[in-house]
Structure 1
């Protein structure tokens, strides 16, 4: 068993990585940027939509290749760490014991990591790809389009997403619980920046991470609210509109805040376990009530398509096609996972 390595910090604010310190520069700057964004968007919604749509388009177009390489790097690094020297390092030290069981951790990982997005897009994405295949040579609503649609959905919600999450989570946990650094993104850069993480450079890293995480949360919340609003409209005739969605945002935010305030054990764990029970019941209903044999055959075939096209999809940049499909789907997903990973 590898030994735990303690980090001796000259900065008591950051020592031991356990204190809930208030960092004014990070908080005030992050809050200021976020509130400015919200205020300007409410003041000029049409202009804000135009500006952010343009910025998103330019970033995904110019840096799409980088997002593809970054996601591949995250996943390959995780695979390397499975076999590299030091794989037996125990997070928290050689005598540390897990606070939760594997099933509890899995429940929290899936609920916090994907949650409502997986419920919605697991159906919406393959249907969309079936109707409008990314390759014009594939006929719409055909067996070929169906196989490609499922492989693409597996790709977007599969190993790459969890590779991004895993590497970020591993880095945060190791530098906090094994090296005594704060549980913040700046700590993961200590091997590169050294004690400069305690200064303005470290503050900048945490500010960027805070703002990016908020946008990741906002994306999930936005999708979730639209989904809930549509479900209520379909089932009970509730109006679809901004007013209802604002109320839903307030309710969901209040529930999430309550879960966080109650703590990891009483709040997040119990809510996550409830989510997994409901998801398992839904899965069981679909499996039993649906075409069971077709579902089993489809699962095996879809998994095969996913691995057959894995390398091609992992490096597909549309370099020889004048289209933007990849920017609206794959690059959007990779940016979403990266932005959400600090949470």
Structure 2
């Protein structure tokens, strides 16, 4: 008999004993074959512990784009409200904030794409079933309205020194409708990135798909309100303070509802490591900024500090959720266990013999 190096990996065989008839049988006795099971019941994780789904290669530029897109959308909406309420300073500052945020956000997006023409290629078609395709068009249409309104305000600030020539009169006539047009696409701009994340196989983002858009819209509202409080005197920043307080209340409620509706295992990355710390501090800053806006927003210094706190809260929310999702994709447990929980729930509900359960 030959002996191989692989024999050292074999588990030891149980001792054998002779029977009355001279035959040997395995230890374990009793009726039947009397065999001792050699392989324990398996607990499936993944192949060599490798991730089941591939984590997206998104880094800080995408997190910055998520934040700036929310600020741009919220600021455009605040600017339209200030335009209707007859508050020219708040309207001007909000329009300029929307233009600056969407411009820098577009740069961050292109930096992540690697080549600018890739964004152009996404506009060659319109695919309603693709959040990325729809989002690209939302960003483009929003940018047109925010650009017209913002450039007009910038030209007015500089004393009509922007080299517009005969386009200046046209720009002045279009700035009002352009501001309203940007406001129409403000909420879709703030929400579509949440749909984009949750429309993937990523465990944490997909588990939050029903509530994540509300979190992002609320985060955009408190960020835009905070920025309006920082840039506008207290006598005109009333709508910004109201938007900030509503945004804080909306985000706190939306996050609680989101975590309640998520599978507990899929929600774990939101509380662990650096993403968990970010989201904890996001909540603390949001509460502090909301209280400052509610009770001390008429004081210029308190308003500025509260606004900065709200902006920080929005930044941490976007970065925390993005990194929590990436962490959930890297650990196969967050993919496998929620699937098992969903399968068990369907069987408890009596749903069997379909393409998912395939048996009782």
Higher relative contact order (Cα pairs below 8 Å, separated by 6+ residues):
1
- For Structure 1 versus Structure 2, the TM-score category normalised by the shorter chain is under 0.3
TM-score, length of structure 2 as denominator length: 0.22
TM-score, length of structure 1 as denominator length: 0.22
Question: Which structure would you say has the larger Rg?
Answer: 2
